[in-house]
């Protein structure tokens, strides 16, 4: 791997493996089904792993192509000038093909990084939506509980006043 190209494996590891331990969600009464969330995260992990394997395979192919090119660049001693010219033309074509392969590898790696970033962003949006929904549900429950508490308090006060009034009437008799 050249120094100009970033270490894709390290970047993907830093991007995703560093956060795998944080992929646990709190269990709540309302919100998303934890099985569905876990299933989505498993699918995302599998897709990321597949893309990493594809990048590794392309990097191996590129290394093999470079090694083969280097081996073929050494001319055999005692060959005629015509054969040396043919070898040079073949080397130039191989170099062109290697350039195309490198470009494709870079494009695939960039697409994988972009795809991984999109998947992570979508997952973060989903998590944020889950949190907002959970907070709204909690606020609604809190409001309902507060309303019920107020009704119970009023009923208790009314009942207490009624009992006091009855007790005063009986005391006056």
How many angstroms separate the CA atoms of 94 and 88, rounded? 10
- Location of structure tokens 């934890």: 34
Q: What is the dihedral of CA 152, 154, 156, 159, to 10 degrees?
A: -140
- What is the model's pTM? 0.36
Is residue 11 pLDDT above 70, yes or no? no
| SS3 at position 3 | coil
Helix 81-172 to helix 8-16 angle (10° resolution) is 10
The candidate with the shortest Cα–Cα distance to 47, out of 109, 119, 111, is 119
> Can you give the pLDDT at residue 2?
44
Instruction: Using alpha carbons only, give the angle 91, 95, 101 rounded to the nearest 5 degrees.
Output: 140
Confidence at 95, pLDDT banded by 50, 70, 90: confident
How many angstroms separate the CA atoms of 55 and 32, rounded? 34
Mean pLDDT of 129-157: 88
Confidence at 3, pLDDT banded by 50, 70, 90: very low
Structure tokens at 50: 């597949």
Confidence at 161, pLDDT banded by 50, 70, 90: very high
Mean pLDDT of 159-165: 91
How many angstroms separate the CA atoms of 12 and 115, rounded? 11
> Can you give the pLDDT at residue 158?
93
């Amino acid at each position: 791997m050249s120094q100009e190209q970033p270490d894709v494996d390290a970047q993907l590891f830093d991007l995703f493996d560093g956060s795998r331990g944080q992929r646990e969600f709190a269990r709540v009464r309302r919100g998303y089904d934890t099985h569905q969330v876990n299933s989505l995260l498993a699918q995302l992990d599998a897709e990321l792993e597949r893309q990493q394997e594809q990048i590794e395979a392309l990097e191996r192919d590129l290394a093999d192509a470079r090694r083969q090119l280097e081996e073929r660049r050494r001319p055999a001693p005692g060959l005629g000038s015509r054969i040396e010219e043919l070898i040079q033309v073949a080397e130039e074509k191989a170099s062109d093909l290697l350039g195309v392969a490198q470009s494709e590898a870079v494009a695939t790696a960039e697409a994988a990084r972009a795809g991984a970033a999109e998947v992570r962003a979508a997952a973060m949006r989903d998590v944020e939506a889950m949190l907002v929904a959970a907070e709204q549900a909690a606020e609604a429950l809190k409001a309902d509980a507060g309303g019920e508490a107020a009704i119970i308090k009023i009923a208790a006060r009314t009942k207490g006043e009624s009992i006091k009034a009855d007790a005063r009437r009986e005391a006056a008799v």
